Chain A
Amino acid sequence: MHKRILYATPLLAAMLLGACASAPPAAPAIAAGSASVNAAIAGDAEALSATEVMDARVKLDRARALAKSDPRGAARLAEEANVDAQLASAKSRTERARRAATEVEAGVQTLRDELNRGATPQPVRP
């Protein structure tokens, strides 16, 4: 009886370790992915990168669903959701910067046009 337990303990430990090595728990990856998705939504990335944000949310949902049954697959989905969300945020920031620059450039052009009109000789005063 005692002997059996003694044999069984290292075996169990080995099994557990093996399980850890082959399939790490998905929780950290899901947490990281969730944080990136939340950041993307908070940064209003959905307005400009709706597809990427949607992809990320779908993958994160599937990761959560698979967390118990397929931790490895769940972790992969969460990691992919993480980069999808980060890309959505980055693209959305880029697009905003582009629009702002274009707006200012258009403003400069308008100002310069006005300046050129103003530079033409003024009508003679009566």
Chain B
Amino acid sequence: MTHKIKPTLTALAAALVLGACASPPATNPALETARSTIERAQGTPSAARAGSKELDLARQNLRQADTVWAKDADVTETAHLAYLAQRRAEIALAMGAQVDAEERMQQASAERNRTRLDARTQEAEAATRAARTAQSEAAQSRAQSQLLAEQAQASQQQARASQNQAAMEAERAAALQRDLQALAARNTDRGMVVTLGDVLFQTGQATLQPGALRSADQLAGVLKQYPERRVMIEGFTDSVGSDEMNLELSRRRAAAFQSALMDRGVNADRIEVKAQGEAFPVAGNNNAAGRQQNRRVEVLFSDPQGNFIARPAP
């Protein structure tokens, strides 16, 4: 009995074993989870790089697990090896994430340094700008004060110049007065006046006597010396005779003296002639001495600008 049964049992056992081998074991979820985690780690560049040793170990564990599962369907050992593979793949992923974070850190540090540099550059630029503004402001105020100083100096110079000019003019006027003293000039409200008396003309005539010619010489000399001055020659008569006659006589006498001056080189435009007739007597016409004083020619000097002061109305 036992002898007959033994081979049967052996064959049965063999068949069972063969059957187990022939039909592949059902997929193990733990194995598949580990496999997919390993694949994820392999597909993550930083994990594949930084966790390469862990990944190798994980693959090795997975291969062992596959083998054990395929050969023995040992659930415990397969689960154990799959667990190791899973964990090692996770370690590889964590190592990759660490490297990623460290790279981020380095980039941020570099960025921080760049930004700090920018900040310092900006500060320096602001300081430079402020300094430049202050400089230009200082330069501006310097220029302004220089301008003011120049203006002050200029007006001082101008004042001095006009002072000098006034002094010169006064000096010159004084000199003219001295020079005309030889001609018995009078300083009147209208300016210097030289009076040529009746004696220098023949009675009732406009012909100049030799004395008058001397006066003309002297006056021409003075006028040459003072080219800024002009003269007004005014003729006067006494009240004897008609007004018209007297006006004509005074005009002719003044004109005669004008010709004498022009003969001596005095320009015509520097001489004005005015016939006053019997107006503006300097003495009474009721006696001979007075009348003689009234018959005269007056030579009025202009101011340095060539202007005459008008005679007040009689």
Please list the residues of chain A having a beta carbon within 8 angstroms of any beta carbon in chain B. 76, 79-80, 83-84, 86-87, 90-91, 93-94, 97-98, 100-101, 104-105, 107-108, 111-112, 114-115, 118-119, 122
Contacts and interface: CB of A to CB of B under 8 A. Distances in A.
B194 interface: no
Given A111-B119, A115-B115, A105 B104 contact: yes
Nearest to A90: B94
Contacts of B91: 83, 86-87, 90
Interface of B: 76-77, 80, 83-84, 87-88, 90-91, 94-95, 97-98, 101-102, 104-105, 108-109, 111-112, 115-116, 118-119, 122-123, 126
Contacts of A91: 94
Contacts of A100: 101, 105
Contact of A118 (B83, B101, B111, B122): B122
Given A100-B101, A101-B104, A111 B116 contact: yes
A4 B96 CA distance: 63
Nearest to A83: B87
A111 B111 CA distance: 10
B80 A80 contact: yes
Contacts of A93: 94, 98
A105 B103 CA distance: 12
Contacts of A98: 97, 101, 104
B84 A108 contact: no
Contacts of B116: 111
Contacts of B80: 76, 79-80
A97 to B, nearest CB: 4
A5 to B, nearest CB: 33
25 contacts: A76-B76, A76-B77, A79-B80, A80-B80, A83-B83, A83-B87, A87-B90, A90-B94, A90-B98, A91-B94, A93-B94, A94-B97, A94-B101, A97-B98, A98-B101, A100-B105, A101-B101, A101-B105, A104-B109, A105-B104, A105-B108, A105-B111, A108-B111, A111-B119, A115-B118
